[in-house]
Structure 1
Amino acid sequence: LLRKRIKGANVVSITQHNFDRIIEIKVKKDKYYTIVVELFDKGNIILLDEDNNIILPLKRKRFSDRDISSKKEYQFPEERGIDPISISETELKELFASSDKDLVRTLAMNNLGSLYAEEIIKRANEFEEIDKHTPSTDLSGSQIANLNKAIHLLFDNLQEEHFKPQIVKKDSKEDVVAFDLVKYDGFEKTYFDNFNEACDEFYSKKVNTDIKNIKEAAWNKKVNKFEKRLKLQEETLDNFHKTIETSQHKGEVIYSNYTTIENLVKVVNNAISKDYSYKEIGKTLKEAKKNGLKEAEIFESIDKMGVLTLKLNETSININPKLTIPENAEIYYEKAKKAKKKTKGATIAIENTKKQLEKIKAKKEVAMEHISVPKKRVKKNLKWYEKLRWFVTSDNVLVIGGRDAGTNEAVVKKYMDNNDIYLHADIHGATSTVIKLEGNKVNDSILKESGEFAASFSTAWSKGFTTQDVFWVNPEQVTKTPEAGEFLPKGSFVIRGNRNYIRSAKVRIAIGIVDYEGKRLMAGPVDALETHCDNFIVLKPGYTKKTAIAKKILHEINEDDLITLDDIIRVLPSGKCDVDEEYHLRKKYEKN
Structure 2
Amino acid sequence: MKTKFATFDLCAVLHDLNNLRGMRLSNVYDINSKTYLLKLQRPNEKAFILFESGIRIHVTKCEWPKAVIPSGFSMKFRKHIRSKRLTNVSQVGIDRIVDLKFGEEERSCHVIVELYDRGNVVLTDHEYTILNILRPRTDHDTDVRFSVRERYPLEQARQSSQFKPTNENILQFLNAAKKGDSLKKSLVCNVPFGALLLDHVFIKIGVPLAAQIGTDIPVNDEGVKIVAKILEEAEKVADDIISTSHGGFIAYEEKESQEGTPIQLFKEYFPYDFIQFRNKSLNNLHILETKTFSEAIDKYYWTNEARKSKQQDGGVEKEANRKLNNIKRDHQKRIQSLNEIKEIQKKRGEFIIYNKDLVEQALLIVRTALDNLKKVNKSLAASNRGPKLVPKTGVGLWLEELANMGEQPAARLICKLKLETNRFTMRLTNPYDESDKELNVELDLSLNAEQNARRLFEEKRAAEQKKEKTEAATNKALKSAVKSAKIKADIKSTQLGKQILFMPEKTNWFEKFLWFVSSDGFLILAGRDAQQNELLVKRYMRPGDIYVHAEIQGGSSVIIRNRENNSSEEWTPPHKTLNEAGTFAVCFSSAWEANVSVTAWWVRHDQVSRTAPAGEYLVAGSFMIRGKRNSLPSCPLQLGFGLMFKLDDESLEARKIKEKKTLDKNTQNDDESAICLEDELIEGSSDSDTVEGAEDFPDVKVRVTGSTSTQNDKVIESSISYGNEKDNEDENKASDEEALGEMNENDLIDSLTGHLSNEDEPVFAVPVCAPYTAMNKFKLKVKITPGSCKRGKAVKMALELFAQNKSLTLAERTLLKAQTGDDRLIQLVPGKVRVSAPSFNVKQVAKLII
Mark the CA change 1:49 to 1:352 in structure 2 (over 3 Å): closer, same or farther: closer
CA contact (8 A) 2:111 2:123 kept: yes
Distance 1:126 1:269, change over 3 A: farther
Whole-Å Cα distance in 2 between the matches of residues 91 and 538 of structure 1?
81
1:207 paired to 2:305: yes
**CA 1:286/1:568 → structure 2, altered by over 3 Å: closer, same or farther?**
farther
Assess, with a 3 A threshold, how the Cα gap between structure 1 residues 318 and 141 changes in structure 2: closer, same or farther.
same
Counting only pairs closer than 5 Å after superposition, residues 112-131 of structure 1 correspond to structure 2 as: 127-128=207-208, 130=210
CA deviation after TM superposition for structure 1 residue 333, in Å: 1.2
1:8 and 1:397 map into 2 onto residues whose CA distance is 36
- 1:258 is aligned to 356
Q: Which moved more, 1:534-543 or 1:325-334?
A: 534-543
Deviation track 1:111-165 (CA, whole Å, cap 9, x = no partner) reads 999985996899599634849xx9x9x9875499879977886786443225651
1:293-304 to 2 correspondence within 5 Å?
A: 294-303=409-418, 304=420
Structure 1 CA distance, aligned partners of 2:155 and 2:355? Answer: 93
Match of 2:395 in 1: 281
Q: Share of identical aligned residues, percent? A: 14
Q: Which has the higher contact order (CA 8 A, sep 6+)?
A: 2
What SS does structure 2 have at the residue aligned with 1:171? strand
CA 250–35 in structure 1, closer or farther in 2 if over 3 Å, else same: same
> Which stretch has the larger CA shift, 261-270 or 567-576?
567-576
| RMSD over aligned Cα atoms | 6.0
Is 2:619 the partner of 1:437? Answer: yes
Q: Does 1:331 align with 2:455?
A: yes
For 1:66 and 1:360, the matched residues in 2 are separated by: 52
**Using the alignment, how far apart are the partners of 1:264 and 1:221 within structure 2?**
56
Q: CA deviation at 1:277?
A: 3.1
Q: Does 1:305 align with 2:421?
A: yes
Distance 1:94 1:342 in 2: 89
5 Å-filtered alignment, 1:568-579, equals 568-569=824-825, 571=827, 578-579=834-835
Contact 1:167 1:189 in 2 (8 A): yes
2:217 corresponds to 1:35 = no
TM-score by length of 1: 0.57
Q: Distance in 2 between matches of 1:377 and 1:69?
A: 39
Q: 1:174 aligns with which of 256, 266, 278?
A: 266
- Equivalent residues in 2 for 1:540-579, closer than 5 Å: 540-542=787-789, 544=793, 546-549=795-798, 565=819, 566=822, 568-569=824-825, 571=827, 578-579=834-835
SS at match of 1:160: helix
* Cα distance in 2 between the residues matched to 1:284 and 1:114: 97
Contact 2:200 2:274 in 1 (8 A): no
Shift of 1:357: 8.1
* Paired residue type of 1:569: L
Q: Distance in 1 between matches of 2:440 and 2:201?
A: 77
Superposed, which structure 2 residues align to 1:146-295 within 5 Å? 157-161=237-241, 165-171=249-255, 173-178=265-270, 179-180=273-274, 182=276, 185-213=283-311, 227-273=325-371, 274-275=373-374, 276-286=390-400, 294-295=409-410
Q: Is 1:70–2:148 an aligned residue pair?
A: yes
The CA deviation at 1:12 is: 3.5
Q: Distance in 2 between matches of 1:253 and 1:104?
A: 90
* 8 A contact 2:184–2:198 mirrored in 1: yes
**Equivalent pair of 1:508/1:538 in contact (CA under 8 Å):** no
Q: Which residue of 2 aligns with 1:25?
A: 100
Residue pair 2:200, 2:275 contacting (<8 A) in 1 also:
no
Corresponding position of 1:525: none
CA contact (8 A) 2:196 2:274 kept: no
Give the paired residue count.
453
Distance 1:105 1:288, change over 3 A: farther
> 1:280 & 1:553 partners in 2: Cα distance?
79
Gaps of 5+ in 2: 1-75, 257-264, 375-389, 430-437, 515-526, 534-548, 557-592, 594-617, 625-719, 725-734, 738-744, 746-768, 776-782, 806-811, 839-850
- The corresponding residue for 2:502 is 374
Q: Which residue of structure 1 aligns with residue 667 of structure 2?
A: none
* Paired residue secondary structure (2:465): helix
Point out the more displaced range, 287-296 or 30-39: 287-296
**8 Å contact kept, 1:223–1:360:** no
Counterpart code for 1:72: E
Q: Would the aligned equivalents of 2:723 and 2:827 in 1 still touch at CA under 8 Å?
A: no
User: How far off its partner does 1:174 sit?
Assistant: 2.8
Distance apart, 1:92 and its partner CA = 6.6
Instruction: Report the alpha carbon displacement of residue 335 of structure 1 after superposing the two structures with TM.
Output: 0.9
Q: Which residue of 2 aligns with 1:488?
A: none
Q: Offset of 1:336 from its aligned partner?
A: 0.7
Q: How many angstroms apart in 2 are the aligned matches of 1:539 and 1:175?
A: 54
- 8 Å CA contact 1:208–1:374 kept in 2: the answer is yes
Quote the offset at 1:300 in angstroms.
Answer: 2.5
Q: Match of 2:15?
A: none
Provide the C-alpha distance between the structure 2 equivalents of 1:248 and 1:315, rounded to a whole number of angstroms.
12
Q: Of the candidates 334, 347, 353, which is equivalent to residue 471 of structure 2?
A: 347
Query: Once the 2 structures are TM-superposed, how far is the Cα of residue 397 of structure 1 from its aligned partner?
Result: 7.3
One-letter code aligned to 1:277:
P
Distance 2:218 2:198 in 1: 18
2:90 maps to a residue whose letter is I
